[in-house]
Amino acid sequence: MTVENPPVGRQGVWADLVGQEPIVAVLSMAVDTASAALAGDPSVTGMSHAWLFTGPPGSGRSNAARAYAAALECERGGCGECSECRTTLAGSHPDVTLVRTEQLSIKVDEVRELVRKAAMSPTGRRWQVLVVEDADRLTEQAADALLKSVEEPAARTIWLLCAPTIEDVVPTIRSRCRMLSLRTPPPGAVAAVLTERDGVPEDVATFAARASQGHIGRARALAADEATRSRRRDVLALPSRLHDIGACVMAAAQLIEAADEEAAAIADRLDPAERAGLEQALGVGTRGVRVRGAAASLKELADQHKTRRKRFQRDALDRSLTDLMSFYRDVLMLQTGSGVVLVNEEVRRDVEAMAHRESAENTLRRIEAILECREALEGNVAPLLAVESLMLDLARPE
């Protein structure tokens, strides 16, 4: 079967992979190899059954893994239109298992379940694909449980693991995988997608692409949502406001509150629908039906929602820290004389004022303080306290 060959990266399941042309080229070839192997072509050797997708947040590593999964299942190499493609991308294809966790770690029990599935033949005619979107969250035990299956996969099984960097994945696992690292898409590519596909006006697209620093999801949110833009403006106003200790603790409270609000906005949209879905599945409210364990299942879902909300809060706070970091990077650019276009052009005056007033050394200390705050948050330090400490460091770096 032949398909026409339009430029890669602009069509089918690959269309969403902005600025990742080299990756798309590799994956397209891998899809051809896999098809040849299925067709029984004896010349095919050394096909990869385990892949590790890495890339900075927003580069689209899990999108890339899903697109590849769809292309593997698709009779036409990832047309993006057939039911194989669509169900894979939507997460409902019977032979494609997507594992993503809102929890902080993936436990060994979940992995054992996956490994059982990996040992089975696909229900369809093509591949059994297992996508682990947060391979960096595998516990050591979980990674051990996974190892054998990744090492000696069943003939029709393919593992796709995703993580921010290869260091985030235990060495035993990563040494068995073929690595693919996605890059941060250039702002031009992001802006082009926003205008061409989402119909965003050019000036807004340019702003969103620049401000998101190549994070496509973030760029979309910035382009589409005034509340997101306004939260970002508030964050960028902080560095010039830290004039005394009261201002520092207020600023910290404001950041945490904004993160909570943002998380609530997302969670309030997702939670009720999921709960309603589960209730319907359990037959809750149906006359004469009493489902055993319904209460326990609902309680479990409620717990998951709570954990997920916490993770949303962390993610939102992390985005604010990224914005803050970009502010001080801009300051440093001006101080070292290498700044032409700032990430935060819209607050250039504040950036310039700080660049003149402060030493580059202090700017570096502030950037260091933001990194330390991230570390503290990962170490579970109370978020408000960690951010208060950060604001004090930003106000007066030592």
Partner 1 sequence: MARPRAADVLGRVTLVTGPEEFLAERTVRTVIDAVRTADAEADVTQVDGAELGSGAFSELTSPSLFSTSRVVVVRQVQDAPEEPVAGLLRYAESPDDDLALVVVHPGGQKGRGVVDKLRKIGVVEVKSETPKQYELPRFVTAEVQAEGGSIGEEAAAALVDAIGPDLRALSAAGGQLTHDSGGEPITVDVVRRYFGGRAEVKSFAVADAAIGGDPARSLEQLRWAMGNGVAPVLMTSAFASGLRALARYVSAPRGLKDNDLAREVGVPPWKLRTLRTQARGWSQTGLAAAIKAVARADAEVKGAADDADHALERMVLAVTGARTTR
The footprint of Zn ion (CB under 5 A) covers 74, 79, 82, 85
Told to check if 376 binds partner 1 by CB under 8 A, we report yes
Helix (H), strand (E) at residue 367: helix 360-378
State which residue, 31 or 142, has the beta carbon closest to Zn ion: 31
Closest CB to partner 1 among 26 and 249? 249
Binding segment (CB under 8 A) for partner 1, from list 206-214, 291-299, 325-333, 375-383: 375-383
Smallest distance, partner 1 to C-beta of residue 378, A: 10
Q: Which of 191, 235, 386, 394 binds partner 1 (CB under 8 A)?
A: 386
- Which residues between 236 and 295 bind partner 1 (CB under 8 A)? 244-250
Token representation of residue 9: 């990266």
- Contacted entry of partner 1, Zn ion, none for residue 85, CB cut-off 5 to 8 Å set by kind: Zn ion
Strand-pair category, 128-132 with 157-163: parallel
Give min distance, CB of 390 to partner 1, in A.
9
Closer residue to partner 1 in complex, CB, 66/366: 366
The yes or no reply on residue 104 touching partner 1 (CB under 8 A) is no
Phi, psi of 161 (to 5 degrees): -110, 145
Nearer to partner 1, 8 or 384 (CB): 384
How many Å separate Cα 158 from the centre of its chain? 21
Q: By C-beta, is 75 or 225 nearer to Zn ion?
A: 75
**Contact status: 381 vs partner 1 (CB under 8 A):** yes
User: For residue 315, what are its two tokens?
Assistant: 């993610």
At 160 the three-state DSSP class reads strand
Q: Which does 33 bind (CB under 5 to 8 A by kind): partner 1, Zn ion, none?
A: none
Q: Is 32 an interacting residue with respect to partner 1 (CB under 8 A)?
A: no
Asked whether position 147 contacts partner 1 by CB under 8 A, the answer is no
Task: Give the 3-state secondary structure of 182-228.
Answer: CCCCCHHHHHHHHHHHHCCCHHHHHHHHHHHCCCHHHHHHHHHCHHH
Q: Is 70 or 135 the residue whose CB approaches Zn ion more closely?
A: 70
Contact flag: residue 396 with partner 1 (CB under 8 A): yes
Cα gap 344→329, rounded to integer Å: 10
Order across the sheet with 157-163: list the strands: 96-99, 128-132, 157-163, 50-54, 178-181
Give kind and range of the element (H or E) at residue 103.
none
Tell me the site size for partner 1, rule CB under 8 A. Answer: 21
CA torsion sign, 304 to 305 to 307 to 312?
A: positive
Return the residue of 134, 271, 350, 393 that touches partner 1, per CB under 8 A.
Answer: 393
Supply the minimum distance, in Å, between the C-beta of residue 15 and Zn ion. Answer: 12
Q: Are 179 and 166 within 8 A, CB to CB?
A: yes
Region near partner 1 per CB under 8 A, out of 122-130, 132-140, 312-320, 384-392: 384-392
Q: Is residue 132 within 8 Å of 162, Cβ to Cβ?
A: yes
